[in-house]
Amino acid sequence: MIDFEKGYSLEEYFAKGYEEERERQRRACERAVYSEAFEEAVKKVKEPVRLAAFAEIYCPDTVVVMPFVKRVADLNPLVRLAVFERDPYMKEMETLTGTARIPTLLFFDGEMNLMAKYVELPDGLKDKMKDADPAEKSTMSLDYRRGKYNSLIQEELASALSLFH
């Protein structure tokens, strides 16, 4: 069971790491563009959501996702966010998702039932990568880190949040 009291705040997450890592995360937040559909999905949440974000500021894939996590928490007070480091929670992550990859976002209801999850990359991008050769996968990873697939992140998070309308 994940104890939300042991997680830390988004502000604490943003203060971790080296200056270069914090700067990279700050730039990602400044550059993020949020779709109207994404913001509407966040605002439509009417039930309490406990969002556990397993994230490390040094991880480039985490840096891509965290602006959207921040936006969710900023837009809807029913979303209770707690950020956790991966290593102390590897067993819990493996039990709940089958792997211990970051970023991992777990969406729990008020009774702490796992309702949805986001693991490492958007499912749509994972599907594209399945049949790609190594060079194509590398290009897709770079494009992801440059924001090309941000719409897929927003769609997946909106879908998870729709379970709480």
Domains identified in the chain, total number:
1
CATH number, domain with residue 137: 3.40.30.10
What is the average pLDDT value for the chain, to the nearest integer? Answer: 97
Residue 97 clears pLDDT 90, i.e. is over it: yes
Q: Which domain holds residue 80?
A: 4-164
Select from 39, 45, 15 the least CA-distant residue to 110: 45
Coil vs helix vs strand at 123: helix
- Edge-to-edge strand list for the sheet holding 104-108: 79-84, 49-54, 104-108, 114-119
Share of the chain above pLDDT 90, in %: 99
pTM for this one? Answer: 0.97
| Sign, Cα dihedral of 148, 153, 159, 165 | negative
User: Using one digit for the tens of pLDDT, what is the confidence trace for 50-75?
Assistant: 999 999 999 999 999 999 999 999 99
Work out the angle between the directed axes of helices 123-130 and 150-161 (0-180°, nearest 10).
Answer: 130
Sign of the C-alpha dihedral, residues 32, 27, 140, 162? negative
Quote the pLDDT of residue 1. 80
- Please give the structure tokens belonging to residue 148: 């090309």
Q: Cα angle vertex 138, ends 145, 87, to 5°? A: 65
